[in-house]
Structure 1
Amino acid sequence: MKIGAIEAGGTKFVCAIGDEKGNVEQQVRIPTTEPGETMESVTDFFLANEVDAIGVGSFGPIDVNKNSKTYGYITSTPKPGWKDYNMVGFLKQKLNIPVSFTTDVNVAGYAEAMQGAGVGKSNVLYWTIGTGVGAGYIQNGEFLQGISHPEMGHILLRQVKGDNYKGKCPYHANQCFEGLAAGPAIEERAGKKAIELASDDPIWDYVADYAAQACVNATLFLRPDIIIFGGGVIHQEHLIKKIRVKFEKYLNGYVTTPDIDKYIVRIALDDDAGIKGALLLAVKELAESK
């Protein structure tokens, strides 16, 4: 059995061929230009390398409600040309195979739940802090979603005293998690790349504080078994310890959680999580389509 996977990002599409266990055998990177050009290149790759099903993790917002008329669409994205684009429809028309479609953060979270830090856990919350902030929640192998996927990167937080940053989110400025702590917010605050900041730079205290606030909120309304952080910002390994300390301060013993060192953790699969998750979801979609 050959399985396909697509990580659809704002700058590039990663397309891969793998097996039902999530092992990658071949992959290519295709620049994200306009939909016609990009998607023709994507489908050409899979026409030349036939697969039984494809899993897609896409930038968004997207429509993941299978009862919706616009299921499978990229919806209100600011990415030029991609607004209201029917990605699943195009893939099915060209390839005529089952397609699993969800967010880019969901595919990574699913891989972590199935093969990474969340193995053996029934309730897994996965956050990514990178160019944006997003989250996916996997409960007993299924995604938590209502009329669409959660947008937990835009939960409202309290700005830390002393942090006078105006915020980066075009919708919520300095009021939401993404606006305060995503990579572009860190870099605009610092005037240089996040990777250039020393580990004791006070900006990291702000970022850890906002992540801890988000973890407290999630703990109270989701009660996960584990909270896993991924994304480029989490390459700063000192951050997890800072988040744990601030989390315990804010939660203040109100409810019990697992041991903190096992409750708030780093991603285990690193950069492989997205593609692995897309492969595993394609297998699931294939089984459900029969």
Structure 2
Amino acid sequence: MFDLLISAAQLREGLAGPGWLVFDVRHDLADHAAGRRAYEAGHVPGAIYLDHELQLAAPKTGSNGRHPLPALADFAALMRAQGLRPGIQAVVYDAGNSMFAAHLWWMLRWLGHENVAVLDGGWQAWLAAGGAVETRVNTGSVTEAQALQDRGYGSAPAMPAVDAAAVLANLEAPAFTVVDARAANRYRGEVEPMDPVAGHIPGALNRPNSLNVESDGRFKPPAALRAEFEALLGGVSAADVVHQCGSGITACHNLFAMELAGLKGSRLYPGSWSEWCSDPGRPVARGAG
């Protein structure tokens, strides 16, 4: 079974047998309908489309970020409806550098599903490997999904996360190191295309998630990722790292890359910058550090 990365060749082989469930999460933050259009134009055979705006986020309140994490029970119900159950191999892909795929990977692990892998290189890798393309819209089966609920999925989070209150308290009594996955110019506060306030959480380190992949969108080798993260963290253990970004999506890309590098146990701040900056009482830093 796969719990981190899977190649296009391995996916093709796996789909020849039973027990696999593939999720297409292609998305464009500037055009929310683009992912659905891309899916309908062609996708991995059997893949089910999930929308990051409409299905994988809770309703926005104006103070809970751009992609609020849904209640665990609501997400469990969504995945039961797709046919997720214990023992199934889930695979997630997108058409970028796997940032949306890594986000759903984290959510599924948060739910308690261990066998979930990201398709390395995403949709482009599938096409390059000669993978078949399907245009039929697929929906999940719920006939076997009740087993997921019976096994207790969704009863308690299985991946650690922190909230804004914990991040704020950490400024006064440091207990963890925050790593910001946004591009360097956004981190420094020079530009801000998504949120009303520019800058970063005071004390946060910057690791643009784009550094985790090669030019073809495949992840760098684990040894290279480990060396880069260790150089950034300067001796801080993985368990003492909290990841954030603009809205909790690309933060999962850094968390996934650390897991791939063998640096396991870091945490996510799901609300991230979009939640943090919604409260003018929370401090904002600008510049390189």
Do Structure 1 and Structure 2 share a fold, with TM-score over 0.5?
no
Greater fraction strand = 1
Greater fraction helix = 1
